[in-house]
Amino acid sequence: MNDKIIAYQGVEGAYSHLACKNAFPKSISIACESFEDAMKLVKNKTVDFAMIPVENSTAGRVEEIYRLIPKSSLFIVSEHFEPVNHCLLGIKGSKIKDIKYVGSHPQALAQCYRNIINLNLIAVAKFDTAGSAKEISTKNDKKYASIASKLAANLYGLEILKEHFGDLKGNVTRFIILSRENTIPKYEKDKEYITSLIFHVRDIPAALYKALGGFATNSVNLLKLESYSMAGSLQVSRFHIDIEAHPKEKKLKLAIDELNYFAKEIKYLGVYKKHEGRENYKLL
């Protein structure tokens, strides 16, 4: 995927931008205002891929994504895990003792809550992390600080006053890479794969239990099960599952046969290699 163009949500220096640079160092990254805008650029063939966050080890799932993906015609072709190192940033020449206000995305502020309180800082919610860094770079006032990435510090000429400013260690975000093409990797016995799909259950008693039963009886591991309501309804009727298997494996074929009997509108979202560092991360 190197030498390709990848869209992400946020401004330059956002963690999604950092994920693009770390996952595909030779790629060109394009900033977008929203997740939907990033996906549209892929669909319209303006860019090759979109780097989209789906869950964080501290904050949980990015709910908006699970609502957007079913409406999208895109496919998951890869996953990436990006460690989140929140840094306390100030303008050049500033010190921690100078700071009175600290701005960032509400999630970043929440993940740094104890450190913010310990320094007696006033937290100010902003639209995103990198945007807050860009803002204080224009203020040129030592009273204002930002919580953002090291990349944001480099891009906006800011001082890193404290690295690892988050309250918890091991903070990581899982991203999926979306493409127009449904590229399914060739099955190799010594490799591990993930198959992602969504479905509705039929209106029968214990439908979900029966639909998922085929995975248990065929020894297929489910890595993720997400449920959410359809637009205009309060009833949970759609499910997203990540399966630890490749469609070419007999055990998954048998499990899908059972799923087909108890579920409806099954849509494959993609088949991709399991990220090599996945076992090092624990997501909610």
210-244 confidence digits (pLDDT tens): 889 999 999 999 999 988 766 655 555 789 999 99
Q: Please provide the size of the chain in residues.
A: 284
- Residues involved in catalysis: 173, 175
Distances in Å between the alpha carbon of 51 and those of 16, 276, 283? 7, 18, 18
**DSSP symbols for 96-113:** GGG--EEEE-HHHHHHTH
Q: Does residue 29 contact residue 21 with C-beta atoms inside 8 Å?
A: yes
Domains (ranges, CATH) in the chain? 5-83+171-179 (3.40.190.10), 87-162 (3.40.190.10), 193-278 (3.30.70.260)
- pTM of the predicted model, to two decimals? 0.90
More confident position, 183 or 3: 183
Per-residue pLDDT tens digits for 249-265: 999 999 999 999 888 88
- Whether residue 166 is predicted with pLDDT greater than 80 in this model: the reply is yes
